[in-house]
Amino acid sequence: MAQIKTLGQFIIENQADHPYAKGELSRLLRDIGIAAKIVNREVNKAGLVDMLGQAGSTNIQGENQQKLDIYANEQFIAALKSGGECCIVASEENEEIVMLDTDVSLHAKYIVAIDPLDGSSNIDVNVSVGTIFSIYRRQSTSGRATLDDVLQKGVNQVAAGYVIYGTSTMLVYTTGKGVNGFTLDPSIGEFCLSHPNMQIPKTGIIYSINEGYYVHFPQGVKSYIKYCQVEDDSTHRPYSSRYVGSMIADLHRNMIKGGIFIYPVTAAAPDGKLRLVYECNPMSFIIEQAGGRATNGKKRILELDVRSLHQRTPIFIGSEQMVLKAEEFMADAD
Ligand code: AHM
Ligand code: MG
């Protein structure tokens, strides 16, 4: 019988591979894994305990906060605070950075950016949601860490991952040496290695974009969508359209099957909708580590300047050849 490898075992076994092999990053990842299990428990039983629906407050983006958004945010921040390896949390749910001011955390070396529950508009209808996280080393060497420590380019990430609360719950992460996926075994309460060394196919037959906004898309995106829909046996077109409306579910599917996910600029969202720090950078790091590609249509997402915490960016992400093709259409439309 094959030996089960838990997330905790895997993290420790692979810690020596990392330049910061002092155990702090391992503890940080382990803390995130524990909080994910707690959030998973609540997501699963949400319908039973009146956790569904909106909490009545709005977050910094003016969006209604779902009750589970708030719960998940609190759980991750609490886990990172008690773990003591993180000095600042930057969250989609908090307008400002959250300083973790315990005696230990003040001197901690890591910054965590997090979208505690992405795709939360899907909660009420029982569709997959997820958590996205991104880990940076603090750059400042004295005093308290500041917002500048958070506003680092995506290339500086030391780890990133996501949790998908789907038909099964998975945690997928990278520390820059490939991508590994762990499935939660509810009978033992552990994430177990189920998808070692994940690779996104170089091309695929799925495109994921909210086509309802078609009239508001830039010409390059419109032309690419038409390309996806044209019949051509040699490239297996027309492609299939799949759009959950939950970025993690869409990207996780495309990572396994091959595909492209696009959230471009639109008339209503002139900078795109998705956020650079805690959505696009971590997902781009993971997809690149799996052999894929992520750009804003022209430039690599991981090299974009980060000017503010809740900055948005258009994104083209997924199988390398598909993203390259979409970029051709964007360049042609200029
Ligand atoms: P959220 O962080 O408020 O949940 O919004 C992000 C989500 C993504 O998961 C998803 O890809 C996108 O919003 C869907 O947006 P739209 O409904 O405009 O297509
Ligand atoms: Mg989000």
Please report the DSSP string for 282-323 in residue order: HHHHHHHHTT-EEESSSSBGGGS---STT-B--EEEESHHHH
Atom in ligand 1 nearest the alpha carbon of residue 118: 4
Assign 144 a pLDDT band (cuts: 50, 70, 90): confident
- Please name the residue whose Cα sits nearest to atom 17 of ligand 1: 245
pLDDT of residue 43: 87
Assign 276 a pLDDT band (cuts: 50, 70, 90): very high
CB atoms within 10 A of CB 214: 12
Average pLDDT of every residue of the chain: 92
**pLDDT exceeds 80 at position 285:** yes
pLDDT of residue 143: 84
Assign 58 a pLDDT band (cuts: 50, 70, 90): confident
CA 163 to chain centre: 8
61 to 274, 280, 284: CA distances (angstroms): 11, 16, 22
Terminal CA-CA length for the chain = 57
CA 315 / ligand 1 centre spacing (Å): 12
pLDDT of residue 334: 78
Atom in ligand 1 nearest the alpha carbon of residue 129: 9
Q: Find the length of the chain.
A: 334
Assign 50 a pLDDT band (cuts: 50, 70, 90): low
**Nearest ligand, measured from the Cα of 63:** 1
Atom in ligand 1 nearest the alpha carbon of residue 120: 4
Atom in ligand 1 nearest the alpha carbon of residue 61: 3
CA 316 / ligand 2 centre spacing (Å): 16
**pLDDT exceeds 70 at position 49:** no
- Please name the residue whose Cα sits nearest to atom 14 of ligand 1: 245
CB atoms within 10 A of CB 115: 30
**pLDDT exceeds 90 at position 20:** no
Q: What is the pLDDT averaged over residues 254-266?
A: 98
**Is 120 annotated in some ligand binding site?**
yes
**Is 222 annotated in some ligand binding site?**
no
pLDDT of residue 120: 84
* Bigger pLDDT: 167 vs 51: 167
Q: What is the pLDDT averaged over residues 6-29?
A: 82
User: Do 276 and 307 touch, CB atoms closer than 8 A?
Assistant: no
**pLDDT exceeds 70 at position 22:** no
pLDDT of residue 141: 86
Supply the DSSP string of 101-156, one letter for each residue: -STTGGG--EEEEEEEEETGGGGGGT--EEEEEEEEE----SS---HHHH---GGG
Question: Which of 35-49, 176-190, 218-232 is the least confident region?
Answer: 35-49
CA 105 / ligand 2 centre spacing (Å): 26
**pLDDT exceeds 80 at position 213:** yes
User: Do 185 and 203 touch, CB atoms closer than 8 A?
Assistant: no
**pLDDT exceeds 90 at position 208:** yes
Question: Which of 139-148, 201-210, 257-266, 321-330 is the least confident region?
Answer: 139-148
Residues at CB less than 6 angstroms from ligand 1: 63, 92, 115, 118-120, 210, 245-247, 273
Assign 300 a pLDDT band (cuts: 50, 70, 90): very high
230 to 92, 280, 332: CA distances (angstroms): 38, 29, 18
pLDDT of residue 57: 72
pLDDT of residue 23: 84
